[in-house]
Structure 1
Amino acid sequence: MTCELTALTLSLAACGMGGGNSTGGSGSTGARSIVIDEPFGPVANWALETDDAFVLSKLGCLETLAKYDTSGSLKPMLAESWTQSAPKTWDITLRQDVKFQDGTPLNASAVAGALKHGLGAKAPVSAFSPEAIAGVEAVGDSTVKITTVAPDALLPYRLAAPNTGILAPKAYTGSSIDPKGTCTGPFRITKVIPQQAVDLKRNTSYWGGSVKLASAEVRFIADGAKRATQVQTGEAQIARKIPVASVQDLKGGSGASVRTQELPRTTELVLNNKKAPFDRTEVRQAIQAAIDTKAITDAVYPGAARPAVGPFAPGEPYTPDGSDAVRADVAKAKSLLAKAGVDPASVKMQLIAYNEGPGFADLAAVIQQQLKAIGVRVTIKTADYASVEPDLLSGDFQATLLSRNHLGDMPDPLGYLTADYTCKGGYNLSHFCDPKIDALIRKAASTKDAKARYADYAQVAAALQARAVDVFLVHETESVAVASGVKGYAVHPYYSLTAGLSVGK
């Protein structure tokens, strides 16, 4: 679902980098600068097994072997092609004449080294971990052979995740990753102000052709209202993840637009399936039945979300047929608790609402009131995500709010389902384990036919919803404020600053 909303009349002021009419490099047609406001900056010294890889990809620096384009299709990027030569073997043919920004060639040895570095991380990502990947080998100068642990039809999808991005060998020689001069993308990093901003300049030797912008500044601003204001004042030309209140403020003019797109992202109430009383299916189902997702959507996300029907949204090819949001039913919730032999007064839930979550403070307060109606007492704990993640991963918690992108780990739900809902999943915050679900997800991984694979995902989704493994609350949208004169921008989970992006009258 995409739409454009007209916004307050804004004038496109001089760009924050001060480069309005600068010239030079790579056959540019509009040698200008741009300022982009992002909500999250790097927090792990650019470690590619973390979300820092997504930041580096959005900066137009990091590139991957395959690309997930705006239509949802998988296309070659640094790879020219790929072939599954055996059930457990893929041959990746690299694009010719690509150079890293330090001038060294992109060859099979460099690519294999980069991928092996990711495999050797202390906590490798589920999309490309030793549990899925058996080995990576350079064959000659332009072919990389990847061997999987089990037959894997989705290896190219794994290679489109920013976490499998490719940097030059020297990026890995220090105590932390150094992306300066070691990317292949259209922009090279010139300056990093920790937790604040990154300055970039055009890569004049970009393999992909002309880069329209001369330079860019990407700012990391946690306050969504401030991001919106900077587009209003002309301090920035693009601001991502604009809060609902700011979207409403921007309505009414024609100088800028707010582009709102439904994301493959769902906000959920994660229940610790290993901690009593949430280890009882009936108790989790009672919590699910007590929550009014429509009221939550109207109160917390007016016009910016819709009630969740499970982990996947209506219209997605892996959503079970006939899926509908669970309707609030207080009587049913009380009956389920009685069936489980649980006195509602004995259920004292501590709900974590981490500060970075979109609208989580308000959402937690609504849930607190809705569960009060069935006699369940909820206390709310707020904190930065980094401070609560260790407890979430170890299982030392009862319940948490979570915003999760099911195409974030890789551009197919396999990565998300593997990480979140398999017994050994690296991000299984629910601490849910069912060998039958594991087997179904493994089966999907080896299924080449997309329709059949999506049917397997739908079975998993139906089981998660029916058993209330988590309580899926709303399917999210993202609103981006875009100043007039910006061309070539598309809302995308992996890319923001691209070769085709430009500003001008």
Structure 2
Amino acid sequence: MIDEPFGPAADWALETDDSFVLSKAGCLETLVKYETGGTIHPMLATSWRQTSPTAWDINLRAGVKFQDGTPLDAKAVVGALKHALAAKTPAPGLSPDTIAGVTAVGGSKVRITTPAPDALLPYRLASPNTGILAPKAYTGSSTNPEGTCTGPFRITKEIPQQAIELKRNSSYWGGPVKLASAEVRFIADAAKRATQIQTDEAQISRKISVPSVQDLKGSSNVTVKTEQLPRTTELVLNNKKAPFTNEKVRKAFQAAIDTKAITDAVYKGAGRPAVGPFAPGEPWTPQAATPVKADPAKAKALLHEAGVSPSSLTVRLIAYNEGSGFSDLAAVIQQELKAIGVKATIRTADYASVEPDLLSGDFQAALLSRNHLGDMPDPLGYLTADYTCKGSYNISHYCDPKTDSLIRKAAATKDPKARYAYYAQVATRLQSRAVNVFLLHETESVAVASGIKGFAVHPYYTLTSDLSRSAK
């Protein structure tokens, strides 16, 4: 059994995070596979070629069948991708803004055209949001993944909001599937997830909390795997709402917050003070990037230069419940702002209830955990969604023509080194202008029971054909 912190919340709509649930459960597959480290490899597609600056031909794998027995062919793939494009709120990596058209070229080739030159189209096709289901998955009022996936596991039962049960796909195109069956449970309580791995009710438990990691380290039956994530916790500042329309005020908040103290006190060292949106060691991180040092005196001086009296500021801070450690983090930030004379109030709620305010701009500041390789295995999707003027997830409501230009240039650049240089320029610009306050680069700890083989921490895949459990 596998414990996951988040379950499906949108009737399996693939343009939402439900697609990641299906991918981790070994059911949903994509045309392109994302390997750890940012490389991509064939999955349901065997090859791809850019035939013009705005067109790509995708060659499909022969002999693949959906779990209902229907063939995976160009018509089915085109239907699945067009369904994704027609969503009311398409995924950032695959939307009418990024895709102009999808057509079948014969029975085993798909042609995808883009509005502008896009060197990263194959990367977009690795995101679970672009997963391919059989045609009948889309015939009802909601998406139905039962029997319509191509992956090593098929869903046999769903207990809404609680669990899904799966059995091996005996006709899997990728070869024999080692596990006969599996169950994925959706448990929001981190302490409960840790307890279940200790009692062997679960064999893999994701996103173990820092205190639980310490408790589990002494166990002889459980191994804790901790990996650096391409994920950063940030204090999002609404750049279109006072007082954060003023760059000096944003910089004052940046100077007031002690990222090292937060990392040590709240996360017990399970993370690193942020140097910007990207972590040290990533190929797109500016080489000279370092964390901003806390300097309350500088923060007060910046507020004075901005003509803002600290005592006149009351900032409303949103901390959603699902964020790891967000309630403690919000309390620390509240005290650090108090030290420069600024009052902060805290609103806690489930993410679903605060997202409309975040997207509409009806807020001042909010805590957010953001994976910059979530929309696609390259920072382009994240930067486009979060930091372009028309970005679909531009919660900071930041709009800067120079930033937009850099991101467009990156999208048209095939050479990775040159593309990463554009990303570094964007990161430097975001940090130097204090668009948001980047707090820490996160890790993920996964508890794995003894006897489990073939498991690796990955943002897209958990149940794979290679996963196995030895007999006790």
Pair 1:230-2:181 in alignment = no
Could you tell me how far apart the structure 2 residues matched to 1:104 and 1:426 are? 35
- Cα RMSD for the two superposed structures: 0.6
Does the 8 Å CA contact 1:102/1:182 hold for their aligned counterparts? yes
**Alpha-carbon contact 1:82-1:90 (below 8 Å) kept:** yes
Q: Residues of 2 paired with 1:69 and 1:162: CA distance?
A: 13
Corresponding residue of 2:355: 389
**What does 1:163-242 align with in structure 2 at a 5 Å threshold?**
163-242=129-208
In structure 1, how many angstroms separate the alpha carbons of the residues matched to 2:55 and 2:435?
35
Equivalent of residue 249 in structure 1, options 205, 210, 215: 215
Residue of structure 1 equivalent to 2:467: 501
1:20-169 aligned at under 5 Å gives the runs 35-169=1-135
Paired residue type of 1:374:
I
| Cα deviation digits, residues 189-238 of structure 1 (max 9, x gap) | 00000110000000000000010000000000001111011010010100
Secondary structure at 1:497's aligned position in 2? coil
Alignment deviations for residues 38-66 of structure 1 (CA, whole Å, 9 cap, x no partner) = 00000000000000000010010000000
Structure 1 Cα separation of the partners of residues 99 and 468 of structure 2: 39
Aligned-partner residue type, residue 92 of structure 2:
S
1:348 alignment counterpart:
314
Question: Post-superposition shift, 1:252?
Answer: 2.0
1:30 corresponding residue in structure 2: none
Offset of residue 253 of structure 1: 3.4
1:411 aligns with 2:365: no
Counterpart Cα distance in 2 of 1:198 and 1:346: 52
Normalising by structure 2, report the TM-score: 0.99
Return the letter of the residue paired with 1:61.
C
Residues 228 and 242, structure 1, Cα contact 8 Å, conserved in 2: yes
Partner of 2:230: 264
1:485 to 441, 445, 451: 451
**What secondary structure is seen at the aligned counterpart in 2 of 1:128?**
coil
State the match for 1:337 in structure 2: 303
Return the match for 2:420 from 447, 454, 469: 454
Find out whether 1:427 has 2:385 as its counterpart: no
Partner SS for 2:100 = strand
Secondary structure in 2 matching 1:44: coil
Whether the 8 Å contact between 1:88 and 1:149 is mirrored in structure 2 is yes
| Aligned counterpart for 1:467 among listed residues 405, 429, 433 | 433
How far did residue 70 of structure 1 move? 2.6
Does the 8 Å CA contact 1:196/1:221 hold for their aligned counterparts?
A: yes
Q: Percent identity?
A: 76
The answer on whether the counterparts of 2:67 and 2:148 sit within 8 Å (CA) in structure 1 is: yes
Distance in 2 (alpha carbons) for counterparts of 1:220 and 1:304 = 23
Q: Secondary structure at the match of 2:148?
A: coil
How many angstroms does 1:73 deviate by? 1.4
Count how many residue pairs are aligned between Structure 1 and Structure 2: 471
Alignment of 1:267-416 (within 5 A): 267-416=233-382
Q: Which runs of 5+ in 1 are unaligned?
A: 1-34
Separation in structure 1 between the aligned mates of residue 113 and residue 364 of structure 2, nearest angstrom? 39
Distance in 2 separating the partners of 1:474 and 1:408: 17
The alignment's TM-score, normalised by the length of structure 1, stands at 0.93
Query: 2:38, 2:378 within 8 Å by CA — same for their partners in 1?
Result: no
Secondary structure at the counterpart of residue 442 of structure 2: strand
CA contact (8 A) 2:4 2:185 kept: yes
Deviation at 1:254, TM superposition (A): 2.6
SS at match of 1:178: coil
User: Aligned partners of 1:342, 1:291: CA distance in 2, in Å?
Assistant: 18
Taking the aligned partners of 2:346 and 2:101, their CA distance within structure 1 comes to: 45
Distance (whole Å) between structure 1 residues aligned to residue 92 and residue 66 of structure 2: 27
Deviations 1:386-444 (A, max 9, x none): 00000000000000000000000000000000000000000000000001111110000
Is 1:70–1:490's contact at 8 Å kept on the other side of the alignment?
no
| SS in structure 2 of the partner of residue 353 of structure 1 | strand
Render the CA deviation track for 1:11-49: whole Å, top value 9, x for unaligned: xxxxxxxxxxxxxxxxxxxxxxxx000000000000000
**1:126 match: secondary structure:** coil
Deviation string 1:109-146 (CA, Å, 9 cap, x unpaired) is: 00001000011100111111111110000110000000
Equivalents in 2 of 1:495, 1:159: separation in Å? Answer: 15
Measured in 2, the distance between the counterparts of 1:501 and 1:92 equals 29
Aligned AA (1:411): P
**Per-residue CA distance 1:438-464 (angstroms, 9 max, x = gap):** 111000000000000000000000000
Distance in 1 of aligned mates of 2:217 and 2:173? 40
C-alpha separation between the residues in 2 aligned to 1:410 and 1:448?
16
Alpha-carbon distance between aligned partners in 1 of 2:408 and 2:273, rounded to the nearest angstrom? 29
Whole-angstrom distance in 1 between the partners of 2:388 and 2:106? 37
Residues 351, 379 of structure 1: 8 Å contact kept: yes
Partners of 1:136 and 1:429 in 2: CA distance: 30
